[in-house]
Amino acid sequence: MTARGRLIVVSNRLPLVMKQQSGGAWHLERGSGGLVTALEPVLRETDGIWVGWPGVDPKRIPEVDDFLEGKEEELGYQVRGVGLSPREVDDFYLGFANQVVWPLFHDFLNQCNFDPAFWKAYQAVNQRFAEVVADEAEAGDFIWAHDYHLMSLGEDLRGKGVKNRLGFFLHIPFPPRDLFVKLPWRKEVMSALLSYDLIGFQTDRDRTNFVHCLQALRPDAHIEGSGRVVRAEVDGRTVRIGVFPISIDVREFAGPAASPEISERVARLWTEFPGRKLILGVDRLDYSKGIPHKLEGYRLALARYPELQEKVSLVQLVVPSREDIPEYYDMKREIERLVGQISGEFTRPGWVPIHYQYGRWDRPELIAHYRAAAVALVTPLKDGMNLVAKEFCAASLEGNGALILSEHAGATAQLQHDAILVNPFDVEGVAEAIFRACTMSDEERQARMQRMRAKIEREDIFWWVETFRKASHDEVDDEASPLDVYMPSRI
Ligand code: ADQ
């Protein structure tokens, strides 16, 4: 155990998922991604624990805990599973998390389904997570809960007498006050969040929204300080509220991008698009990602700037997600309709304006596309951070990729000076940005990309973990870690 105590990470999903093989046998697969890569060393170093849902109903596979235990040696830290029944998956995960909090926090009020049964399930599941965590927690442990599935966990832990330091990080945006107060359980959610000692947001925008909500719902709260972490004095306690833009493990992208295997794939991609600039879009199927708006922008760019025709091709990957929710299925059909229209309108012998794929690429394929692309088109209507933007920069080894970035993505705060910013609702603005990105001089692209890469290398996922942990000990140095703030007056 280190001086800082053990780390207990709590997230909806474990970094391990139970999968069934074609013969019916179950096995555990390890998750990947920057968050796992960054947290695992700290878990190992502090003899920590990761608590989460292994993605299966324990009634279906009663031996799930044995599977998890069997992985601990390989992982180098402990894992504890929290079982969810199919009903809980429906009401807590697909219900409250993804039909209440997700749409509300991304400004899609009309997609919200404020079903009281969803809220009940959310409370019950958070209680269950709290039972598992409370059983494990020892004095000195730092408990770090992740994301919108677990906003009530802190309060539930306090209810069980847990006195440890509690941190919470919200990976998605926090909504403006006028939206948050539409939530029927606004007081309960706010009060639950205030049970944490440290609440972290992706951007200053989110933290400001949260503070406005806090001031509206708890006028007795007293806010002090400025900079990356401020303090709220409420109910005789201090709650720290900070800004911690999440990032990636740059080496996970830059390293493989330079490998012979990926260089070969990149060369192949370039020969498939001879004399053309490859514009890349990679988005999870979600209304927050603004895929139809992006396609409209691309269509307008081709119509308004005919010199782009036959000189560019858009490769748009849509990664399947939450297909059990009917709106997601409708959105897929809308995207496919637009792709069909663009193809019908512009395709010529020897040139296809848009290559649409619905599915997943393996990591090498994703990195090869990032490196090969001349332009990345990252235009979410609202996004907590958007890691695709950062991954593109990390893998852009030639250093001449241009990033078109939505001003409503959290990543804009850090990349605002060098990305080409757009308001994704402004289709004409997106068309103009595409033209600008495709015609920008090589020197300008290089200079912009170099600065973006330097920023991402400085503030990578390891910096993020360390800054959050330091803040939980009130050790953040504002001068060493200045806060990036984005003002819409920039575009
Ligand atoms: P997401 O909404 O999932 O995350 P994003 O940040 O873009 O959005 O992350 C997507 C991740 O999926 C990227 O790491 C990307 O590499 C990966 N991915 C994309 N295509 C893939 C493919 N074909 N195969 C495998 N992986 C693929 C939420 C919030 C974001 C926030 C993150 C992290 O909505 O705003 O940035 O959490 O906090």
The predicted-structure confidence for 272-317, as pLDDT tens digits, reads as follows 999 999 999 999 999 999 999 999 999 999 999 999 999 999 999 9
**Euclidean distance between CA atoms 307 and 296, whole angstroms:** 18
Is the model's pLDDT at 488 over the cut of 90?
A: no
Cβ 79 under 6 angstroms from ligand 1: no
**Mean pLDDT confidence for 315-328:** 87
Q: Which fold has domain 251-458?
A: Rossmann fold (3.40.50)
Is the model's pLDDT at 66 over the cut of 50?
A: yes
SS3 content of the chain, % helix, strand, coil (to 5): 50, 20, 35
Q: What are 10's two structure tokens?
A: 């709590």
Q: If DSSP codes are grouped into helix, strand and coil, which group holds residue 222?
A: strand
Query: How does residue 3 score in pLDDT terms, banded at 50, 70 and 90?
Result: low
Q: What are 211's two structure tokens?
A: 């503070």
- pLDDT computed for residue 323 by the predictor: 78
- What stretches of 185-315 show up as alpha helix (H) in DSSP? 186-193, 204-217, 250-257, 260-272, 291-304
For the chain, percent of residues with pLDDT exceeding 70:
99
Kindly name the residue from 383, 408, 418, 460 that is annotated as catalytic. Answer: 383
- pLDDT computed for residue 95 by the predictor: 96
Cβ 391 under 6 angstroms from ligand 1: yes
Task: Label residues 145-167 b or e (16+ Cβ within 10 Å = b).
Answer: bbbbbbbbbbbbbbeeebebbbb
Give the DSSP letter of residue 39: H
Measure the N-to-C terminal CA separation of the chain; round to a whole number of Å. 49
Give pLDDT tens digits for 88-134: 999 999 999 999 999 999 999 999 999 999 999 999 999 999 999 99
CA angle 200, 143, 114 (to 5 degrees): 60
Partners of 152 in the beta sheet?
A: none
Cβ 367 under 6 angstroms from ligand 1: no
Is the model's pLDDT at 320 over the cut of 60?
A: yes
Cβ proximity of 282 and 369 under 8 Å: yes
Cβ proximity of 81 and 67 under 8 Å: no
Task: Label residues 124-143 b or e (16+ Cβ within 10 Å = b).
Answer: ebbbbbbebbbebbeeebbb
383 assigned to active site: yes
For the chain, percent of residues with pLDDT exceeding 90:
86
Give pLDDT tens digits for 200-238: 999 999 999 999 999 999 999 999 999 999 999 999 999
Q: What are 78's two structure tokens?
A: 């402990």
Partners of 316 in the beta sheet?
A: 281, 356
Burial of 62 (0-12, 13-18, 19+ CB in 10 A): exposed
Give pLDDT tens digits for 414-443: 999 999 999 999 999 999 999 999 999 999
**Mean pLDDT confidence for 345-374:** 97
Q: Which residues contact 458 (CB under 8 A, 6 or more apart)?
A: none
Kindly name the residue from 47, 65, 115, 171 that is annotated as catalytic. Answer: 171
- pLDDT computed for residue 331 by the predictor: 93
Name the closest-CA residue to atom 37, ligand 1.
171
CATH 3.40.50.2000 for domain 7-243, yes or no, is yes
- What stretches of 279-386 show up as alpha helix (H) in DSSP? 291-304, 326-346, 363-372
Cβ proximity of 465 and 39 under 8 Å: yes
Neighbours of 387 (CB within 10 A): 21
Token pair 């944490």: residue = 196
Burial of 14 (0-12, 13-18, 19+ CB in 10 A): buried
Q: Which atom of ligand 1 is nearest to the CA of 321?
A: 3
Q: Which atom of ligand 1 is nearest to the CA of 388?
A: 7
User: Cα separations (Å) of 45 from 1, 6, 77, 121, 143?
Assistant: 8, 8, 9, 35, 15
Portions of the chain given CATH number 3.40.50.2000: 7-243, 251-458
- pLDDT computed for residue 329 by the predictor: 87
- pLDDT computed for residue 1 by the predictor: 41
Name the closest-CA residue to atom 8, ligand 1.
386
Token pair 């990729």: residue = 401
User: Cα separations (Å) of 306 from 312, 422, 431?
Assistant: 11, 21, 12
Cβ 368 under 6 angstroms from ligand 1: no
Helix (H) or strand (E) holding 52: strand 49-53
Q: Report which of residues 247 and 31 the model is more confident about.
A: 247
Cβ 206 under 6 angstroms from ligand 1: no
DSSP for 107-169, written as a single string? T-GGG----HHHHHHHHHHHHHHHHHHHHH--TT-EEEEESGGGTTHHHHHHHTT--SEEEEE
Give pLDDT tens digits for 236-263: 999 999 999 999 999 999 999 999 999 9
- Report CA(387)–ligand 1 centroid distance (Å): 6
Query: What are the φ and ψ backbone dihedral angles of 38, each rounded to 5 degrees?
Result: -80, -35
